Structure 1
Amino acid sequence: MDIEIYTKKFCPFCQKAKALLSRKGLSFKEIFIENDIVHAEMIDRCGQHTVPQIFFNTEHIGGWDDLCKLDVQNELDKYLKMK
């Protein structure tokens, strides 16, 4: 599975999302929002302005709250196995 996560430096929610993915043993591509071009790309992909924004393959999962909710409800592992 290809996982991409848009992040900004010093974002605590980005750190939490990356830590959760790492605890699950998942590798991911981190896309730093360093400029307006990358930020616009993220908005075009998901319609959201905040970080993190997480994609599994090309499917938009959402941000930290969405990822955490999947995990707390034991849906994240099921979702990962289906993909």
Structure 2
Amino acid sequence: MAHVLMYTSAYCPYCVRAERLLAAKGVTDIEKVRVDEDPSRRAEMMEKTGRRTVPQIYIDDFHVGGCDELHALDREGKLDPLLQG
């Protein structure tokens, strides 16, 4: 299974939706980075992704983007191969 990293924050409904989809795909271990607890991690996320919003999801070294992009990959049949590594 691929390594999944998610920049997240508390009370983020899009983060919850993304996690639910990943769980449905069998992902049991998500490395979560809480950007609301550590401003330096938010700055890191913005530098890496060019985006301010959460979630920002990486599967291995591939930047998926946010929740909508994750669901789009699933609809296109491209999420499962990414998760297999």
Report the equivalent of 2:58. Answer: 55
Q: Distance in 1 between matches of 2:59 and 2:20?
A: 16
Report the equivalent of 1:77. Answer: 80
Question: How many residue pairs end up in the alignment?
Answer: 82
Runs of 4+ that moved beyond 6 A: none
**More moved, 27-36 vs 41-50:** 27-36
Gaps in structure 1 of 5+ consecutive residues: none
Q: TM-score, normalised by structure 1?
A: 0.90
**Aligned letter for 2:68?**
D
- Secondary structure of residue in 1 paired with 2:10: coil
Contact map agreement 2:59 2:82 (CA 8 A) in 1: no
State how 1:8-47 maps to structure 2 within 5 Å: 8-26=9-27, 27-33=29-35, 34-47=37-50
**Aligned letter for 1:4?**
L
Gaps in structure 2 of 5+ consecutive residues: none
Percent identity (aligned): 37
Q: Distance in 2 between matches of 1:43 and 1:14?
A: 17
Q: Distance in 2 between matches of 1:5 and 1:79?
A: 15
1:36 Cα deviation from its structure 2 partner = 1.6
